[in-house]
Amino acid sequence: MASINKFILLLIFSTPLWADSLLPLLFTKQPLRNVRFISKGGQYTYFQNGNGQLLLSKNYKATEVLKGRPGSNFLMVSTKARRYLLFTIDEHYHDFYSIREPLKIYRVRFGNFTADEIGLGQAPRLHLDDTWATYYNLQERVLTFQNLLTQAIKFTISLNNKINPYFVPQVAMIDRETVLFSDLNDEGIPGILVFKRGDEKSQAIYKGISVREKIEFCLQGDNLIVGVFGLDKSKIGSKILSYPVKGHKFTQKSELYKSKLNDIGNMVCNFEKDAIYFVKNLSENIKAKYEAVRMDLNTKETKVISDVGYANQIVPMDDKLLLPFRGKVFVLKGKANYKSDALAEKKKKKEKKKKKEKK
């Protein structure tokens, strides 16, 4: 019996668990591990190198954005507003491991190379057409809201969470006076709160039921999309709800989606007008399977759009939707090949057009 079990284990671990994906791979001029952002059409590329530099490549030229210690690691976030980019620098990425350590956060104008430091924290996000930024300090449990047009305008919210030192809140800004954020109560159960600056107090608009669930939310047009996903082997399952934002009352809701299985979630909103994306649990019996899906908000139908077998994260990058998986980056939506220069392609098209006109 023992020999049979050994044979089965050997067979499992010596055979690829999933076949090669049919999704296109992302190809870039710089090594993919160094790329931090590629704009629509490949006009701007931000990338890092081993010397601790973050650089901007455009018009056949690379310009330094920021220099840290050798081996520094940069993470960059953007939105479709294309006004600013935010990024963090971790100068001790290879010699000091701490996911709670506050990092320096910078802003840079979209397609530019002049960076300004805006604060210390983690999980930076852009809001309201890139006019506001938020970031969270895990050690102080303080969420900061920073106006990017007038840096003197700034406010903070202290979280209640005292039970989970690794909890990072979800954040959304409806307008400059009304914000939404997630928090944990004294028992570690998640919820969503609305904060109005004029009232200087928070009010719960959604309360979870268990410490074994994850709550996500994002704004999609005039609606707040809330995802509730069970964790581990809980029997909570998954559901996605929609609340109208108008009036800021959040008393009405509609159910968009429900499953008995615990999805991974990691929702992406506002990539398309009438759809959201998330990672769905498609497991059957003892075979685990997770894939990226697109959910049509009008029909409420979900469509599987990946084939890697164990997807866990969907990354929006300007006009692209990416799926990192086992050292590769697959493209769910958008252009995949950025090895050729955008300007060079435009020149080729012009030359072809001139040749046709001559004929």
SS (H, E, C) 274-295: CEEEEEEECCECCECCEEEEEE
Q: Are 330 and 306 in contact (CB under 8 A)?
A: yes
Of the candidates 265, 266, 171, the residue with the CA atom closest to the CA atom of residue 219: 171
Residue 17 in this model has a pLDDT that exceeds 70: no
Which pLDDT band holds residue 351 (cuts at 50, 70, 90)? low
Q: Are 202 and 157 in contact (CB under 8 A)?
A: yes
Q: Are 133 and 121 in contact (CB under 8 A)?
A: no
Which pLDDT band holds residue 7 (cuts at 50, 70, 90)? very low
Q: Which residues are 142's β-sheet partners?
A: 137, 158
Question: What pLDDT score does 98 carry?
Answer: 87
Q: Are 119 and 144 in contact (CB under 8 A)?
A: yes
Of the candidates 208, 230, 321, the residue with the CA atom closest to the CA atom of residue 269: 321
Name the residue ranges covered by the structural domains of the chain.
Answer: 33-161+219-339
63's tokens: 């310009």
Which pLDDT band holds residue 200 (cuts at 50, 70, 90)? confident
CA 21/CA 332 separation, integer angstroms? 11
Q: Are 169 and 159 in contact (CB under 8 A)?
A: yes
pLDDT in tens, 52-87: 999 999 988 999 999 999 999 999 999 999 999 999
Q: Are 278 and 227 in contact (CB under 8 A)?
A: yes
Of the candidates 118, 88, 125, 116, the residue with the CA atom closest to the CA atom of residue 103: 88
Question: What pLDDT score does 251 carry?
Answer: 87
CA 274/CA 221 separation, integer angstroms? 9
What lies within 8 Å, CB to CB, of 161 at 6+ separation is: 141, 167, 183, 184
Of the candidates 70, 80, 84, the residue with the CA atom closest to the CA atom of residue 40: 80
pLDDT in tens, 148-157: 999 999 999 9
| Count of CA atoms in the C-beta half-sphere (13 A) of 155 | 12
14's tokens: 């010596």
pLDDT in tens, 304-323: 999 999 999 999 999 999 99
What does the angle CA 212 – CA 213 – CA 214 come to, to the nearest 5 degrees?
135
CA 20/CA 309 separation, integer angstroms? 10
Per CATH, domain 33-161+219-339 is 2.120.10.60: yes
